């Protein structure tokens, strides 16, 4: 039976979106955590409101040390259990033996291949037993996210609910929430990073750039997704 999509007011708060989405899913829901400011804020909101939200993370094998530090801090502060998912080692080995360590910079096709092995396939395993998943995506982040809905069916993953509680927040709102609540924060933000993924695919940018300009900076803006959020 398909899951019904709840009606969400345009003025709904992140807490209200989370509550409505979790209730509509009527089953296990987890946050896909990349340890961004957005994801840490969602964990804090869910914890303070007693929401039944699991947390999983994808360890691509190429994350920054600073990202692991945030994971450790969250575990300690919230007594959080993080379910880690990893790429299949034989696929990583084959990719690197046949195409080298930086094939993802040679073409969009190669980059999608790397993302599929390191992110998309592990995500499919993480979502297998879930009725819904939560992301930290915001409409402001990029042209590829401008038409996000607060709660929507994820047809790419069996029609489970995809819940985006921070869609209407600005970057400033996220930063202010993190500061006001003294949240664990990736040290790379202090070095000019504004969106943090795998180390070889992320770099610092200027305050005038779009938030995700530092992701796959050699590609056009309309291509700056890894395949986790197919629409």
State the Cα–Cα distance between residues 77 and 63, nearest whole angstrom. 21
Report the candidate in 162, 183, 164 with the shortest Cα–Cα distance to residue 174: 183
Is the separation of the CB atoms in 163 and 192 below 8 Å?
no
Burial letters for 77-98: b for 16+ Cβ neighbours within 10 Å, e otherwise? ebeeebeebebeeeebeebeee
Catalytic residue flag (residue 226):
yes
Burial grade of 153 (CB within 10 A; 0-12, 13-18, 19 or more): middle
Is the separation of the CB atoms in 87 and 60 below 8 Å?
yes
Out of 33, 114, 115, 226, pick the active-site residue. Answer: 226
Residues 6+ apart with CB under 8 A from 179: none
CA atoms within 13 Å, Cβ hemisphere of 202: 21
Which positions are annotated as active-site residues? 226
């Amino acid at each position: 039976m398909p899951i019904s999509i709840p009606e969400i007011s345009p003025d709904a708060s992140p807490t209200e979106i989370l509550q409505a989405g979790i209730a509509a899913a009527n089953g296990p829901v987890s946050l896909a955590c990349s340890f961004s400011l957005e994801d840490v804020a969602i964990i804090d909101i869910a914890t303070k409101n007693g929401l039944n939200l699991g947390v999983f993370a994808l360890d691509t094998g190429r994350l920054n040390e600073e990202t692991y530090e945030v994971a450790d801090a969250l575990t300690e502060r919230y007594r959080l259990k993080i379910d880690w998912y990893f790429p299949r080692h034989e696929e990583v080995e084959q990719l690197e033996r046949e195409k080298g360590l930086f094939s993802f910079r040679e073409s969009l096709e190669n980059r999608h291949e790397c993302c599929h092995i390191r992110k998309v396939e592990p995500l499919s395993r993480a979502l297998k037993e879930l009725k819904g998943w939560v992301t930290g995506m915001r409409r402001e982040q990029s042209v590829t996210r401008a038409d996000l809905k607060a709660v929507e069916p994820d047809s790419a993953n069996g029609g489970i609910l995809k819940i985006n509680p921070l869609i209407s927040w600005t970057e400033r709102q996220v930063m202010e929430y993190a500061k006001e609540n003294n949240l664990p924060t990736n040290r790379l933000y202090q070095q000019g990073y504004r969106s943090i993924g795998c180390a070889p695919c992320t770099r610092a940018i200027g305050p005038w750039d779009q938030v995700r300009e530092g992701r796959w900076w050699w590609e056009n803006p309309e291509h700056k997704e890894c395949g986790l959020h197919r629409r």
